[in-house]
């Protein structure tokens, strides 16, 4: 195990953990994780994964940093206003840990680029803010059999779930179709407590590291719901649906399709 | 008394805590189950903390010996997989 002296120092608190050790840290350094979204969730997930030493972190986001993002999107700053979020996050993560290769992907996911972008990564992290992309990511992960760690936040509530295609549920087992447009308000319309993505993103990053290490039990077949006002965590069981249109026995969804942009946003 | 066969030597003289443990942990990961690693160290606290941590990982401490004014030898037998 050829760590540099600097790496031994940087990762010392990982290496002495029996569940990680030198071998686990090597796995982390060799892992490739794709973050979809460099917003509220993508920032803390990427920040902690970079600190942990995840060797390759891809970031898909075509937005630019705005002042209203800085209340919760901790990888960006007043120095990166107007910059593409993928580039701003790259700058922050690489400053934290030069072991990490951050690949900015300044694109919006759609049915034409998703499969190609996902294929080089071990684990996908969903930190998006709209249902069309969320369903696109789910379907692509099921088709490609890639583990997906999904997070969502609104107001004072957040949710996390880990999807392992072929083993547990998928997003469509939970909600077969997205809700009608306008039914679920967006963060823009409803607001979000700035620290909330830190909690949910922290949980997502933990799930990613557990998957890389092969330790513990992933949040599979379950949805974890956090209510910040009541300081309450609860887990809801989500069984795999045998009739699921994408991961069931006789899937009807075998390729990706785009939903109308205005379908709905969260 | 028969001599214990040493499969790996680890010299961590000059290394301080917690890197005494970091290097010992990586060392033990590099040997096979049942093999023995002999550590030589000179950081006094590590003569206690490294064997204790190794026991907590599930390994067996065969020997802790102060060999001169400043140095200790610690022998660890690997008893659990990493």
ipTM reported for the complex, 2 dp = 0.92
Tell me, what's the pLDDT at A265? 46
Query: Distance (Å, rounded) from C-alpha A33 to C-alpha B20?
Result: 32
H or E segment to which residue A23 belongs: helix A21-30
Among A16, A18, A23, the residue with its CB nearest the CB of B22 is A16
Cβ-defined contact of B29 to A3 (cutoff 8 Å)? no
Residue A3 touches partner B, C-beta closer than 8 Å: yes
pLDDT of residue A262: 57
Q: How many CB pairs under 8 A join A and B?
A: 32
What are the tokens at A161?
């779930």
> Does residue A231 lie in a domain region?
yes
What DSSP designation does A78 have? G
What are the tens digits of pLDDT across the range A25-66?
999 999 999 999 999 999 999 999 999 999 999 999 999 999
Asked if B19 lies within 8 A of A22 by C-beta distance, the reply is no
Which range marks the domain in which residue B49 is found?
A: 8-77
Retrieve residue B48's tokens.
């206690």
- pTM for the model stands at 0.94
End-to-end CA distance of chain A: 45
CATH, residue B56: 3.30.110.40
> Does residue A249 lie within any of the structural domains?
yes
Tokens of A19: 């569940």
Q: Report the C-alpha gap between A161 and A220 in whole angstroms.
A: 7
- How far apart CA A167 and CA A171 sit, in angstroms, is 13
Q: Is A190 on the interface with B (CB under 8 A)?
A: no
In a domain, B72, yes or no: yes
Q: Tell me how far apart the alpha carbons of residues A159 and A140 are, in angstroms, rounded to a whole number.
A: 21
Among B19, B29, B56, select the one facing A8 at the smallest CB separation.
B19
Low-confidence ranges of chain B (pLDDT < 70): 1-2
Q: Within 10 A of B9 (CB to CB), how many other CB atoms are there?
A: 11
Among A175, A173, A151, A177, smallest CA distance to A162 is for: A151
Q: Is residue A139 part of a domain?
A: yes
Residues of chain B found within 8 Å of residue A21, distances taken between Cβ atoms: 25-26, 29, 82
Tell me the backbone φ, ψ of residue A22, rounded to 5 degrees.
-65, -40
CA angle A144, A149, A151 (to 5 degrees): 130
Report the distance separating Cα A116 and Cα A245, nearest Å. 22
pLDDT value at residue A261: 61
State the DSSP H helix or E strand holding residue A43, giving kind and residue range, or none if neither.
helix A42-52
Annotated active-site positions of B, please?
17
- Residue A204 to residue A161: CA distance in whole angstroms: 8
Strand A157-163 to A148-154 pairing: antiparallel
Minimum distance, in Å, between the CA of residue A20 and any CA atom of chain B: 9
Largest CA distance in chain B: 35
Residue B82 lies in a domain: no
CB contacts, 8 Å: A18 with chain B: 56-57, 82
pLDDT tens per residue across span B31-54: 999 999 999 999 999 999 999 999
Q: DSSP code of A186?
A: P
Record: contact A8-B26, CB cut-off 8 A: yes
Instruction: Provide the domain count of chain A.
Output: 1
**B18 in reach of chain A (CB within 8 A):** yes
Does B3 map to a domain?
Answer: no
* HEC profile of A99-161: CCEEEEECCCCCCCCHHHHHCCCCEEEECCCCHHHHHHHHHHHHHHCCCEEEEEEEECEEEEE
Q: Which residues of chain A have pLDDT under 50?
A: 264-266
Number of structural domains (chain B) is 1
Are B29 and A22 an interchain contact pair (Cβ–Cβ within 8 Å)? yes
Q: Which of B19, B22, B29 sits opposite A23 (nearest CB)?
A: B29
pLDDT at position B2: 63
* Res A9: pLDDT: 97
The reply to whether residue A16 touches residue B18, judged by beta carbons under 8 angstroms, is: yes
Q: What CA–CA distance (Å, rounded) separates A64 from B15?
A: 47
3-state secondary structure of A59: strand
CATH of residue A178's domain is 3.40.50.720
Task: Identify the domain containing residue A41 by its residue range.
Answer: 23-263
CB contact under 8 A, A22 and B23: no
Instruction: Please report whether residue B56 resides in a domain.
Output: yes
Backbone angles phi, psi at A51, to 5 degrees: -60, -40
Assigned domain for B33 exists: yes
In a domain, B31, yes or no: yes
Under an 8 A CB cutoff, do A1 and B26 touch? Answer: yes
The verdict on A17 touching B (C-beta cutoff 8 Å) is no
Q: Which residues of B touch A9 (CB under 8 A)?
A: 19
pLDDT recorded at residue A176? 87
CA A24 – CA A252 distance, rounded (Å) = 39
Residue B65 lies in a domain: yes
B23/A8 Cβ within 8 A: yes
Q: Which residues of A fall within a CB distance of 8 Å from B22?
A: 8, 12, 15-16
For residue B33, the 8-state DSSP code is: T
Q: Are strands A32-36 and A56-60 parallel, antiparallel or unpaired?
A: parallel
Confidence (pLDDT) at A189:
77
Residue A52: Cβ within 10 Å count: 22
Closest approach of A27 to chain B, Cα-based (Å): 13
Question: How would you classify the pairing of strands B8-11 and A232-237?
Answer: unpaired
């Amino acid at each position: 195990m050829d760590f540099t002296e600097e790496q031994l120092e940087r990762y010392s608190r990982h290496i002495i953990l029996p569940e990680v050790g030198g071998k686990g840290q090597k796995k982390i350094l060799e892992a490739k994780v794709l973050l979809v979204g460099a917003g509220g969730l993508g920032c803390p997930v990427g920040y902690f994964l970079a600190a942990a030493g995840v060797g390759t972190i891809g970031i898909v986001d075509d937005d630019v940093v705005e002042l209203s993002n800085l209340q919760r999107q901790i990888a960006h700053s007043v120095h990166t206003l107007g910059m593409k979020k993928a580039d701003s996050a790259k700058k922050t993560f690489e400053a934290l840990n030069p072991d990490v290769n951050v690949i900015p992907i300044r694109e919006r996911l759609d049915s034409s680029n998703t499969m190609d972008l996902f294929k080089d990564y071990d684990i996908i992290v969903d930190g998006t803010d709209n249902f069309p992309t969320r369903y696109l990511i789910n379907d692509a992960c099921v088709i490609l059999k890639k583990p997906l760690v999904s997070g969502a936040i609104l107001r004072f509530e957040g949710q996390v779930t880990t999807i392992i295609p072929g083993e547990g549920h998928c997003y469509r087992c939970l909600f077969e179709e997205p809700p009608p447009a306008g039914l679920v308000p967006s963060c823009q319309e409803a607001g979000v407590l700035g620290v909330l993505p830190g909690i949910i993103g922290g949980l997502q990053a933990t799930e990613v590291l557990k998957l890389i290490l092969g330790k513990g039990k992933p949040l599979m077949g379950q949805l974890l719901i956090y209510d910040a006002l009541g300081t309450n965590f609860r887990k809801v069981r989500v069984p795999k649906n045998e009739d699921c249109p994408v991961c069931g026995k006789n899937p009807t969804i075998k390729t990706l399709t785009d939903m109308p942009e205005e379908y709905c946003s969260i | 008394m028969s001599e214990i066969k040493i499969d790996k030597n680890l010299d961590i003289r000059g290394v301080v805590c917690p890197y005494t443990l970091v290097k010992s942990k990586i060392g033990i990961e590099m040997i096979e189950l049942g093999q023995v690693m002999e550590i030589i160290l000179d950081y006094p606290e590590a003569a206690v903390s490294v064997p204790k941590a190794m026991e907590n990982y599930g390994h067996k401490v065969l020997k802790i010996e102060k060999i001169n004014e400043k140095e200790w030898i610690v022998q660890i037998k690997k008893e659990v997989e990493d």
